């Protein structure tokens, strides 16, 4: 595999890293509300045109920021090895939601908005979509394994199932933001996702092994 990068590719990567570094510093020093395209460009010493050459908008930049930050959590998915597909999926969401909580309430509130089209579950053309890849691919594998072992209904449409779970999770996050973080986000996501899976997709084999 050829890993050689052209000078143009190297320059592009350096500019993106510079913008990312400036964004990280702004968030840590002033908070997410201070992160605007103008402030980012000033902090990174790049032109507005250069910013929009690399990122479509601020939301895409924030998604890229999350992608890079989330890389440190990839290995946590590999530690999940239960035979219980429901438990495995819940643990995946717990890891992701803890990661979000680590970013702080203001970040979550400013990222999870109706203006951020990258959050749309069917979006495949943004950094937000790439952020979901390690999460969704792991969940998908757990569901396939659950079907193979007879714990998940074989007639279940896994893609639709994953879409439903994504919508539930985002709904909880939006509600949590509206409540100003007034309740335990992870606990609420866990409860609703668990209820959905236990009532809609599991088989009698699962009930006999894990619920009786």
- 176-210 pLDDT, tens digit per residue, is 999 999 999 999 999 999 999 999 999 999 999 99
Give Cβ neighbours of residue 17 (< 8 Å, ≥ 6 apart).
Answer: none
Find, among 195, 188, 146, the residue nearest to 169 by Cα: 188
Separation of alpha carbons 168 and 58, rounded Å: 25
Give Cβ neighbours of residue 141 (< 8 Å, ≥ 6 apart).
Answer: none
Separation of alpha carbons 90 and 186, rounded Å: 10
pLDDT for the residue numbered 133: 66
pLDDT for the residue numbered 12: 80
Question: Where do runs of H (alpha helix) occur along 71-126?
Answer: 74-78, 85-103, 105-111
pLDDT for the residue numbered 178: 95
Instruction: Give the pair of three-digit tokens for residue 82.
Output: 């239960």
Same fold flag, 7-55 and 70-211 = no
Separation of alpha carbons 65 and 59, rounded Å: 10
Say if domain 70-211 classifies as CATH 1.10.357. Answer: yes
Separation of alpha carbons 81 and 188, rounded Å: 23
CATH superfamily to which 7-55 belongs: Homeodomain-like (1.10.10.60)
Find, among 1, 148, 177, the residue nearest to 83 by Cα: 148
pLDDT for the residue numbered 1: 47
φ/ψ (deg, to 5) at 36:
-120, 160
Instruction: Kindly give the confidence (pLDDT) of every residue in the chain, 212 residues in length, as a single tens digit, with 9 standing for 90 and above.
Output: 456 678 777 788 888 889 989 988 888 788 777 889 999 999 999 999 999 999 988 888 887 887 788 887 888 888 898 999 999 999 999 999 999 999 889 888 888 888 777 677 655 444 455 555 678 888 999 999 999 999 999 999 998 999 899 999 999 999 999 999 999 999 999 999 999 999 999 999 999 999 97
- The b-or-e profile of 178-188 (16+ CB within 10 A means b, else e) is eeeeeeebbeb
pLDDT for the residue numbered 125: 46
Find, among 62, 37, 42, the residue nearest to 52 by Cα: 37
Domain segments of the chain: what residues? 7-55, 70-211
The single-letter DSSP state of residue 149 is T
């Amino acid at each position: 595999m050829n890993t050689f990068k052209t000078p143009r590719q190297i320059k592009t990567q350096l500019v993106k890293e510079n913008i990312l570094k400036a964004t990280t510093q702004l968030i840590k020093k002033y908070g997410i509300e201070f992160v605007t395209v103008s402030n980012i460009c000033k902090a990174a010493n790049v032109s507005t045109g250069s910013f929009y050459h690399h990122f479509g908008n601020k939301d895409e930049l924030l998604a890229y920021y999350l992608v890079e930050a989330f890389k440190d959590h990839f290995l946590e998915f590999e530690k999940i090895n239960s035979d219980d597909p429901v438990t495995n999926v819940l643990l995946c969401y717990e890891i992701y939601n803890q990661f979000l909580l680590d970013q702080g309430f203001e970040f979550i509130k400013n990222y999870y908005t109706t203006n951020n089209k990258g959050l749309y579950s069917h979006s495949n053309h943004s950094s937000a979509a790439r952020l979901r890849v390690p999460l969704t691919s792991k969940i998908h594998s757990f569901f396939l394994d659950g079907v193979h072992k007879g714990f998940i209904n074989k007639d279940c449409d896994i893609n639709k199932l994953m879409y439903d779970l994504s919508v539930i999770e985002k709904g909880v996050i939006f509600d949590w933001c509206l409540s100003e973080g007034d309740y335990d986000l992870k606990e609420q996501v866990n409860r609703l996702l668990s209820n959905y899976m236990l009532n809609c997709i599991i088989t009698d084999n699962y009930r006999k092994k894990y619920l009786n």
